[in-house]
Structure formats: structure tokens, C-alpha cells
Structure 1
Amino acid sequence: MDRYVIRGGRAGADRLLVLARIWAATTSDLLDRCGVPSGARCLDLGCGAGDVTLELARRAGPGGRVTGVDRDAVKLEVARERALAAGCTNVDFEVLDVYDLSSRGVYDIAYCRNLLQHLSRPADVVRSMWQAVRRGGVIVVEDADFEGSFCHPPDAGFDFWVERYQSVLRSYGGDPRSGRKLAAYFAAAGIPRPQVSVVQGANLTGEAKSMPLLTVQATAQSMLGAGIATEQEIEDACTRLAALADDESTLIGSPRLVQVWSRRDDASS
């Protein structure tokens, strides 16, 4: 089991809810392109607080079924509460390490977002997802490339987030450039040439500008433990990032989010 660099539990789930709102439209467009048929059986791997799980359930309809998998039981409890509040009855949530996925030919859709960047063996998980998809089904993966992030005018707090998050992710065995490598992971798993697209946010206002601050706060203990930053450096960066989030004259660009998907036809292995 890999170590997870970002704080879990309720606070971690709250951060994921913000992240999910930011990327909801682009993920919805992606699901439109790949197609989620009525009655589909779907897997959301590393589902967190369940945003995409619930979207897949809405698309699959009452005749479908969606399983959300995560290793954080607290986040899954948040997801269950949200499903109950939404009256969504065609979902299940399961505590599972993603490396332990063993399903074969079960799902019409196998999906994950911003999961592989945290893993030391991402291609192994992609291979397991592919094996879990039945003939005619689709594997769909979204992940970030942090080197695409930008800020203008430049800001030291923003630079701290980009540089130190990448450093601590690498120190935990992850890869902040995972997005650009998704097609290579697919190839390593024997998956036919996928469809590839890239999306990116750019914001002067709104909650997307709070993500650098929320992420530094959520990774502070990991940075300290790995010797990536001191308490004072983290405090100073958070002060700057809080001001940046409120500064409507500064444009920030999110990490690039690379979207990759492939359909398992009769000729696929």
C-alpha cells in the first residue's frame, strides 16, 4: 500500500468536494464522449467523497449499479451520507486498496480521477481496471500534470505550492507529471490506443483560486515529515495563498488535467 500525501478524513473530504466542483463540467463532458449507457455497471476507483460516483449513478439510472472504492473509510462515510441525501440507491461504497482490485470482466465503465499521481505502480492499477471491464466497456482516466500550473503576476506562495507539492508527492512515491504519462500507462497495460484530451482551468475569481491554499494545508504534515518544508515556510506560504485567493487581479492556471479513455472491443486482449 502506498502512502497518501494528502490529509484524509472529514477535512480531506471537504477539500475533495471543492476539487470536484471545479472539475465537474469537464468530467461531465468527458463522460458524454465515452458514453454511460442506461443500466451500466460502473466502478469509480479512488472515489473519495463520491462526486463522480453519484454522477455515474445518475447516468446509469435505476437499472444500473455503481461501486465507489477508496481506502479512506471516513471519506466513504461522507459519500454514503451524500448518496442518501440525494436519494441515490444504486450505489455501493467499499473500503479497498486499489492494488487489491481483482474483478474480471464485470464493469461497463471503470473510472478514476487524480488517483494515479499518488501511486508508485500506476500501470498496475490501469491494468487491473482494464481487466475489470467487460467487452464493449470503457476505461476512463483523468490525472494531473502539475508543471502546467501558472500564476500571473508571479507569486512566491503559488510557487511554493507548485514546487513543494511536487517534491512531497515524489518523496511519497507518486508522480506529479502522471497526466502526461497516461497514454504510456495504457500501452504498458496492453490497452488499445486511447482517445486523449487536455483541459485546464484559469481563474481570476472563485473557489478554484483556493485550491493551492487548501492543498498546502492538507499536505503540511507530509511536508514536515519528509523535510520538504519548515513550519514557518508553510505558514508564510499559506498567508500568501490566502491573499492570492482574494486578489482578483491575479490569474492562476490549474494543473493540466489529461483525460484518456479506451473501449474494450472484441479484438482487445
Structure 2
Amino acid sequence: MWIYIARRLLWLPFLLLAVSLVTFAMGRIVPGDPVQVMLGARYEPDSQVTKNLEAQFGLDKPFAVQYVNYVWDALHGDFGESYRYRGRAVGPLLAQKMWVSFRINIAAMILTVGIGLPLGFWIAHHQGSWKDPVTVSFTVVIMSVPIMVSVPSVLWVVCLKTDLLPCSGWGGFWDVRIIVPAITMGLPGIAGMARMMRASTLDVMGQDFIRTAHAKGLSSIAVDFRHVLKNAMIPIVTILAFALAGMLGTGFIVEQILGIPGVGRLVIEAIW
């Protein structure tokens, strides 16, 4: 196992270089000139001001030289100056926005685990009753709704219709305004986690050692918490990373709609 891990770690620098090269190349291939975006329509592409800015950012150099300089500076923690926010370094700006997005994702993950796991465990114990198909169907609907629809729907219910929570803005992890983005980002994860937990719990409940535990006279509560829950959690732990990755993707839209100064909004502003 340790040899396998060592081999994977040896491949990691080459993988990072490949990803950085593709990302850097895509930034140069896509239409648009960052210098012209900064200057607007006031200056022509061949004006002296444009050429000076291109030289300042190193955009007048060959592609290979630009990439080598980019990798060298990145290894030293220097990600350059932002084209969108003139005079601000990318590193501190990105760190500031990442901290906001990180706190929102943590709140959404807490909701996903705190609601999805008990819900899936509860559904599994009601297999055969009307509660099982109704709840499973509801989770399928929640997972199928696009984020562009779920965010306005949540806003309409909790902000406009009932006026329970503020609609937008950001005030920190313990501020009430974190609830709406946490709900909108956590809803698909809650539904998916509940379905996975239900399937895992039903699989464990059908094992021989569970029947043996019941035959020994253990109560249903003791069997559930000592044996079923512990073993049902094993496959769930492996999908937590995928759930977090899904939240990072939906965060781009949620942050833009709700006016949250996170990485998602920063990326969209950088593009537009």
C-alpha cells in the first residue's frame, strides 16, 4: 500500500503541471484581451498605453516564456496582479474570497450531514410503508431541480413570502444571512445523502450479524446504534468529498445571486 501511495505522490507534480498548462493555455485561447477589458474602448489595441500595459503584465512575451514565469512565480506564492481589480494582488484577494466560500460550504455540509443522514436512516426503518416511497420521491425531485430554480424558490419562500430571513448579503459564519446560502447549497446534498444512507442502512440491516444480534436479545435501539449505524456510515464517508465538490460548483451561482463576496462571484466578475 505504501508503495502505491508513493507512486501516486510522485505523479502529483506532473499532474499539477499538466493541469496548470491546460488552464494557462485555455486562458490564452479564449477570445478577448485582458488589457482591452481593463482599458475599455478608450484606447486602440495598437496604442502605446496598451503596449505599455502588455509589457507590464508580460503579455508581450512568447507563450512558453509566459508559462514558465507563471509557474515560477506561483511556486513562490506570487500569482500576479488582478486584471479586474487594478492594483490588487491575486493571492491575498483569492485568500479573502476563499475564506468566505469555505465558511458557506462548511455550513452547507453541516446541514447535509445533520439532516441527510438521520433522514436516510429513518426512511430505511420505514421500508414498506407509505413514508418510504413518498420520501424517496421527494428526494429525487429535490436532486433533479436545477440550482437556478431552487435558489429563487428558497428566496421566495423564506425571504419574500414569509419574511423570515434576509434575502442577500454576507455578515460572517454566525450571521443569520448564512442560512439561505447554506440551505440552497445543501438541499441537493441532503437529498443525495438521504438516498445513500437509506440504501446503505438497508444493506446492513439484511446482513447475518444483524439477525444474530437480534437473536441474542439485544433491543432494536441497541442494534441500530451499535451495529447498523456504525457499519452503514462506512460507504457514506467516501462520498462526503464528492458532496463537497458539488457544493463548490453550485456556489458559483448561489454567491452571484445572493451577492456573497466569495470565490464563485470573484470568478464570474473576472470573466465578465
Decide: shared fold, TM above 0.5: no
TM-score normalised to the size of structure 1?
0.22
* Bigger proportion of residues as strand: 1
* Greater Rg by CA: 2
* Bigger proportion of residues as helix: 2
